[in-house]
Amino acid sequence: ETGVTQSPTHLIKTRGQQVTLRCSSQSGHNTVSWYQQALGQGPQFIFQYYREEENGRGNFPPRFSGLQFPNYSSELNVNALELDDSALYLCASSFWYSTDTQYFGPGTRLTVL
């Protein structure tokens, strides 16, 4: 059984660019949540995907968008990058009926210059 994996590990972009981050769920998990963890802060909920649809969103602007694929893997897309988007982006997977038990990936460190 493989855990949650994320790619890439690190990424450097410039302000105004677009970025796509990827997440593969733990085997069998059908729900994926994305979090942004700024330096020195706790993770903040961006959104959750279930059955390929967004199922709940935190306080993030529309330039943060996502996708979930039939195999339950997921992408986080961020358009028009801003300096404040620099953070560790974490994804977590779970079963729909057990979202209180989420398994986190190692994260993608995004730096916006």
By CB under 8 A, name the binding residues for another protein: 4, 33, 35, 40-45, 48, 55-56, 58, 90, 92, 99-107
| Least distance from another protein to the Cβ atom of residue 68, Å | 14
Distances (CA, A) of 88 to 27, 34, 53: 23, 11, 23
CB atoms within 10 A of CB 56: 12
Residue closer to another protein, measured from CB, 86 or 99: 99
| Least distance from another protein to the Cβ atom of residue 107, Å | 5
Residue closer to another protein, measured from CB, 35 or 72: 35
Angstrom distance (rounded) from CA 101 to CA 96 = 10
